[in-house]
Amino acid sequence: MRQRAAVLCGAAVIAAGTVTAVPAEATATRLPQPAPTAPAAGPHWEECATEDYPTLQCASLEVPLDHARPRGEQITLALSRVPHTARTYQGPLLVNPGGPGGSGLTLAGFVASSLPAKVAAQYDVIGFDPRGVGRSSPALDCRPGHFAPVRPDSVPDTPDVERANLARAESFADACGDKYADVLPYIDTVSAARDVDAIRAALGAEKLSYFGYSYGTYLGAVYAKLHPQRVRRLVLDSAVGPEDVWYDANLHQDLAFNDRHRAFMAWIAEHDAAYGLGTDPERVESAWYAMRAALAKRPAGGRVGASELEDTYMPGGYYNGYWPYLAEAFAAYVNDGDTGPLVEAYENFGAPDASGDNGYSVYTAVQCRDAGWPRDWDDWRDDSWGLYEKAPFLVWNNAWYNAPCAFWPTPSRQPVDVANAELPPVLLFQATGDAATPYEGGVAAHRLLGGSSLVVEEGGGNHGITLSGNDCLDEHLAAYLTDGTVPHGDGGEADAVCPALPDPKPLESKAASTSSRGSTLHGLLGFRG
């Protein structure tokens, strides 16, 4: 759940009870309803076309910082639109790339151009930057340069390394509290879902359709819980496990990412002729960890240490189109001692930038506020070391990415129970080998959303699977958006099954590129999301 190839994987004395607890807010049986959404003037759309998306338009919308006080302080949401062109008009289709912290402005153009033209023409495809994100205002940036290299090794195998990482996490939380004390209590999924309804009202639509990837599936499910009568169609791709928000979700990720990394190592072994790292996946994996150990002592180019290496290779767990590039960098380092390709891979997939700093700030603000997190570091330490023995690839990198939640300056809400039997048919998509949102989460969402249909990509390991080249999946998506058609299974977990696309081949030349649609989509979805 992280943004772009840009952000990286989400000193107190180390002793029990050193992290001060902040109580979670009391559980509410029903979500409190805000004051009715005031009628709003429609957004003023202006051209903001790009070469790829020549019909894209942009606008802004003011919404309350606190929806319980609709006439109080206002913030601004950035919107984008590809307008409908067909006589048959099915209303707005809001799209969200996940995160939390992902910008959806360009995603509107991508979705409109990737759907069949006759389907896209029937919708106003609407993108938006959720509160705190990108071109919305205020845009959060708690601690610029927080992920600047070289960071401490993520694996805290000495007390000094653990203290250094804890100090970074606490300083980030403190910086957020210092800069955004008045805003942080309202950076959460429920508030973002209220914003979605404000967008609907401003567009003059009685109902809206929604298409979310990754964390965007949770945002969509929460919106549907708040306003089931306002949902026309709901597409959830790579669904978050709604019952795991958020600490447990990250623990489940750790195991799934380790499995996906091992699948990548096996792929390299299958292509020994291209990479020369051996035909035994376990030996290839051992070589990768030996590279990590070497970089911990001597970072490549003074920039890629052990933690940065994890940042660089984690995106391969989201999208196998990156595997050929990551494999070449790995092989160049091991076989030739050449650090150049590794540094280049870090710059492309793992290095931080300003949008990544913003995305991470919103990510932590939302996740730390949405649900309770352990406030005693001993709990984090015990859970992480226990998982590390089974799944070393990402456990500690992920722990430190989320560790500011142990020190977060605002109290946590209770997670939303998204169980819902009041919706029209809902369509879910899930890959069996998804690392970021493991398959079990999609099954849980299917169970909780009564009347939903689940389309499974059997054998797939990518995160975000529709509009990425799998025609079988996309046919189900197009049918649903056309007239609400959903598949119905025989009572098992899946209502329809699509075979996964084949894994990529090694690059034939340095100029070779990944699949256009797949790489474009995953660039928009980013990582950690």
Residues that are catalytic: 214, 434, 463
Rounded CA separation 109/304 (Å): 34
Helices (H), 70-150: 105-114, 117-120
Strand partners, 127: 80, 95
Question: Which tokens in the block code for residue 405?
Answer: 């939640």
Provide the token pair at 106: 């360009």
Residues 6+ away with beta carbon under 8 Å from 316:
260, 261, 264, 322, 323, 326
Which parts of 132-214 fold into alpha helices (H)?
A: 159-180, 189-202
Name the nearest CA neighbour of 325 among 259, 267, 379. 267
Q: How far is CA 256 from CA 327, 457, 484, in A?
A: 20, 16, 33
Instruction: Report the distance separating Cα 367 and Cα 129, nearest Å.
Output: 17
CA-CA distance, 265 to 287, in Å (whole number)? 10
Q: How far apart are CA 74 and CA 66, in angstroms?
A: 8
DSSP 211: E
Q: Strand 46-47: give its sheet, edge to edge.
A: 46-47, 57-64, 74-82, 124-129, 92-96, 208-213, 231-237, 426-431, 453-458, 496-499
Coil, strand, or helix at residue 78? strand
Return d(Cα 206, Cα 70) in angstroms, integer: 20
- DSSP letters, 342-399, are HHHHHHHHT---HHHHHHHHHHHHHHHHHS----SHHHHHHHHHHHHTT-TTTHHHHH
Question: Pairing between strand 453-458 and 208-213?
Answer: unpaired
Q: How many Cβ atoms from other residues are within 10 Å of residue 73's Cβ?
A: 11
- Number of C-alpha atoms within 13 angstroms, CB side, residue 337? 1
Q: Which residue carries 């690392």 as its tokens? A: 435
DSSP code per residue over 406-423 = GS-SS---PPP---BSSS
- Burial profile 100-115: b = 16 or more Cβ within 10 angstroms, e = fewer: bbbbbbbbbbbbbbbb
Using CA atoms, how far residue 262 sits from 266, 282, 317, in Å, is 6, 8, 10
Residue 8: which of 362, 484, 527 has the closest Cα?
527
